Amino acid sequence: MSVEAAPPQPAEGVVMWNINTTCNYRCSYCTQRFLDDRTRWARDTPQFLAGFRRLPGRWEVKISGGEPFLHPTLIEIVAALAQMGHRVSVVTNFSASEAKLDQFLAAAGSALRVFSASLHREYVRTEAELTAFIEKARRVAAQLPAGGTLNVTCVATRRNLPELPALARRLAAAGIRFKTQPEKQNRDVIAYTEAERSQLLALGGHSGLGVIAPSFQGRLCWAGASAFTLDDRGAAWRCYPARRYRREYLGNFLDGTFTLFDGARPCQYAYCNCAVPIERGLMAR
C-alpha cells in the first residue's frame, strides 16, 4: 500500500487566536460564548506575548474573538507581535471607530496580512449603514501595507442568501474581495436545500474554496506543527475541530506546557470548518 506524502511544510506558521469572548453584537448564528472578564485579559497580555516570542520562526497570528477590538490591550499586542517579526491578521465585526482602526493599522504596520471585516446584516441593516460599512472598508483598504489584503465576509443565512449576489457585485465594483461563510448551528453547517447549496456554491462556497463543508479526514495535515488554535485562556489545540472534540491538545501557552507536533499527522475529523489551514496549504488535498 502506498503511503500518502505530506505537502511541503509551510514556511510560516499560523495561530488562530480567539483573543476574547466578549462582543458588542449578539448575532443569531454566533457560535461563540459571551463572557466578560476584561481584567483577566489585560493581566494575561505579558504571558501571551512571552508565548509568541518562544514560537520557532515566523508566524501569522490571526486574531479573532468575540470582537477583538474590544480587547483592552489589542493595540499593545499587535505592536509587540509586529516588533517580534510575526505577522498579524484580524477578523472583526468592523464596529470599531475609525480612530481605533487607525491605531490598529499603525501598530501592525508592514506586518499586517489579512484584514477581514465581517458584515452582520442583523446590525448593518439599512442602505445608509451598508454604504457606510463599504466606505469604511475602502478607507482601510487604502491604508494597507504591501502584501496586506482586505476582504468582507458575510454569513449566508437563508435570509441573506438571495441578497448576496448583488452585494458581491457591489463590493467588487468598490474593489473589495467578498467571501461567504455557510451558516452553522451547533457548529455544523445548516441543512441547506439543493437550490440554496447551488446559490452558495455560485458565490464561492465556504470562503471562496468552492465547497461548503471541506473534509480531509485521513489525510496528512500540518496543523499542530505549523498551525494551532489558541483560546482566551491560553489553551491550544491542533485546530478548531480538535478543540471542538477536545482531542490533540497542545498544552497551555501561559503555564509553559505548550508544545507543537514535530511533523504532519493524519486528520481525524470529518469537517474541516476553518478556511485558514486550507488556504495556507497545510493538508494533502
- Of 16, 167, 241, 264, the one binding ligand SF4 (CB under 6 A) is 241
30 binds ligand SF4 (CB under 6 A): yes
- Of 216, 228, 237, 253, the one binding ligand SF4 (CB under 6 A) is 216
133 binds ligand SF4 (CB under 6 A): no
Q: Based on CB atoms, which residue is closest to ligand SF4, 105 or 272?
A: 272
Among 12-20, 25-33, 75-83, 132-140, the segment contacting ligand SF4 (CB under 6 A): 25-33
Q: Based on CB atoms, which residue is closest to ligand SF4, 9 or 110?
A: 9
272 binds ligand SF4 (CB under 6 A): yes
Provide the b/e sequence for 174-208 (b: ≥16 CB within 10 Å): eebebbbbbbbeeeebeebeeebeebbeebebbbe
Q: Based on CB atoms, which residue is closest to ligand SF4, 109 or 233?
A: 233
228 binds ligand SF4 (CB under 6 A): no
51 binds ligand SF4 (CB under 6 A): no
Q: Minimum Å distance from CB 25 to ligand SF4?
A: 4
25 binds ligand SF4 (CB under 6 A): yes
Q: Minimum Å distance from CB 261 to ligand SF4?
A: 10
Among 61-69, 70-78, 139-147, 176-184, the segment contacting ligand SF4 (CB under 6 A): 61-69
